[in-house]
Amino acid sequence: MAETRYTKDHEYIRIEGDTGTVGISDYAQGQLGDVVFVELPTVGKALAKGGEAAVVESVKAASEVYAPVSGEVVEVNGELEAAPGTVNEDPAGKGWFLKIRIKDAAELDALMGEAEYQDYVKSL
């Protein structure tokens, strides 16, 4: 079963082997409001942990989506360009942004698990 970890910036990474699927949490999409545009990275792009991985624009604001770990982009969710609202409708499912080949699995240790993340959100 895939494990999901979270950043304090509300990105998630669902880990499957040496690859992770990256998106924003339900909390994050709720804070953004209606998503109207998503800018995705190119496949093959190297991402650094904490660096900009994608951009999401809503009716309220534009926000960066940061890479939860370092690695190489192996796939992007091109469907978001035509249907950015999918991020609001299903952030943890069809609303994912990119898949990354994880460069250093040890970086995952700094991320929060599900229960820890839910406690973090409650504290905000």
pLDDT tens readout for residues 97-117: 999 999 999 999 999 999 999
Mean local confidence (pLDDT), 69-77: 98
> Would the CA dihedral through 33, 63, 9, 87 be positive or negative?
positive
Burial class (CB in 10 A: 0-12, 13-18, 19+), 116: exposed
* Under 8 Å between Cβ of 43 and 74: yes
Locate the domains of the chain by residue range. 3-116
Strands (E), the chain: 3-6, 11-16, 19-24, 35-39, 46-47, 52-58, 62-66, 71-76, 98-102
Q: Which amino acid is at 105?
A: A
* pLDDT tops 80 at residue 51: yes
Which architecture does CATH list for 3-116?
Beta Barrel (2.40)
